[in-house]
Amino acid sequence: MNRRRFSALVLATPALWLARPALAREPEIYQNGGIAIDGSDPVGYFTTGGPVPGDDVTVDYKGATWRFAEQASADAFAANPTAYAPAFGGYCAFAASRGYLAPTIPEAWTIHEGTLYLNANLRARELWLEDIPGNIAKGEANWPGILG
């Protein structure tokens, strides 16, 4: 190896250390296998006061398939998805308030001032409920930067 090649290699090495593969951005909507929010009907939280399993009625929105228990729910969602889609893309609202992403379960939910919030588990929901306005403000400050 001559001096010129050696010098070029030495000068290129720091650039190689700094080069990292680009990390894939997380989907805007929490989904598993392309199905949003574990297949729960988002409209059901508002109309029945709790989670309702979705069925074969679907609507595609923001890169995910949303399931609905009935056509009327799908139609309501399609007409105004922002009224029914959960905040923070259906990821855990408490986790978003802390600056990271976490999946959710249908049973850990809250509707606050007309917006649906989901949480990773019932303990996260308890922590979320301790300061909903503060947690919303923190989550909104972190969102969407935490998607990657």
**Per-domain residue ranges for the chain?**
28-81, 86-148
Q: What is the pLDDT of residues 6-41, one digit of tens each?
A: 444 444 333 333 333 345 789 999 999 999 999 999
Q: What is the pTM of this model?
A: 0.84
The Cα–Cα gap between 86 and 93 comes to 9
Strand partners, 28: none
The Cα–Cα gap between 128 and 125 comes to 5
Q: What is the pLDDT of residues 46-101, one digit of tens each?
A: 999 999 999 999 999 999 999 999 999 999 999 999 999 999 999 999 999 999 99
For residue 86, the 8-state DSSP code is P
Q: What is the pLDDT of residue 2?
A: 54
pLDDT beyond 80 at 137: yes
Are 106 and 68 in contact, with CB atoms under 8 Å apart? no
The Cα–Cα gap between 24 and 134 comes to 30
> Within 13 Å, how many C-alpha atoms sit on residue 83's CB side?
12
Strand partners, 143: none
Torsion sign (Cα): 47, 53, 59, 65: positive
Q: What is the pLDDT of residue 25?
A: 85
Torsion sign (Cα): 63, 65, 71, 77: negative
